[in-house]
Amino acid sequence: MTHSLAVTVLGHDRPGIIADVTGVLAGLGGNLEDSSMTLLRGHFAWTLVVAVAADASVVSDRLAHLMAEGLVVSVLPLPDDDATAPEGSAWLLSVHGADRPGIVSGLTRLVAEAGGTITDLTTRLGTGIYLLVAEVSLPRETDVEALSARIAAAAEGLGVRATLTPAESDVL
């Protein structure tokens, strides 16, 4: 019986981290499912879900050599209940402006209050500019115009520009 584990790997980037981690998981008969990796201010940051028979502690032990070199590795069991994709309409929230506290919390709170969920998120701090791009799934009955207006008003209060645009895909 396999179960799902969430593995996170964070730290100083070097060539071969992904090959090393997946090599360990493959050696345990694990199947790498979804994962997302990026560099966060230059730090390697990877979150992945693996289906594997081995216990979290076993996986953790096999990854110990990575921790020894300074990477932060966590291995945690995920609940068995089937995660479902959100149902609703797809939107893209993009925000940019001068950095200040409260941009992400202020704007994502409005999405949450509308019953929306964020399905993908990137935030970046540049030189003097802060950027947020979020994939948002809104319930079908959402008054998007009203939500857009609330977001625009909040953005104005934060001194940033926020736009909510449709991100529906076309089946071809």
Partner 1 sequence: MPLLDGRIVMPPLPEGRVLPVITAPADVLSTACVEVDPAAPDVVQLAADLIVTQRVSPGCVGLAANQVGIGWRVFSLDVTHHPKARTTHGEYVLVNARIESSSRNEKSREGCMSVPDFTGDVKRASRIVVRGFLPVTGEEVVLEADAFEARALQHELDHLDGFVFLDRVAGAHAVYPRQTYL
* Cβ proximity to partner 1, 21 vs 75, nearer residue: 21
Question: For partner 1, what does the binding mask look like between residues 107 and 146, x meaning CB under 8 A?
Answer: ------------xx-x------------x-x--x------
For residues 33-62, which are near partner 1 according to CB under 8 A?
36, 38
Q: Which span sits near partner 1 by CB under 8 A: 5-13, 19-27, 88-96, 100-108?
A: 88-96
Give the CA dihedral 18, 33, 49, 112, nearest 10 degrees.
120
* Cross-strand bridge partners of residue 77: 5
C-alpha–C-alpha distance, residues 94 and 80, integer Å: 33
Residue 15 falls in which region: left (phi positive, over 0), alpha (psi -120 to 50) or beta: beta
* Cβ proximity to partner 1, 41 vs 140, nearer residue: 140
By CB under 8 A, tell whether 20 contacts partner 1. no
Q: What angle do CA 133, 139, 36 make, to 5 degrees?
A: 40
Number of Cβ within 10 Å of residue 15's Cβ equals: 7
By CB under 8 A, tell whether 90 contacts partner 1. yes
Q: Min. distance of Cβ 100 from partner 1 in angstroms?
A: 25
Tokens of 72: 């932060």
Binding stretches for partner 1 (CB under 8 A): 36, 38, 85-90, 119-120, 122, 135, 137, 140, 167-172
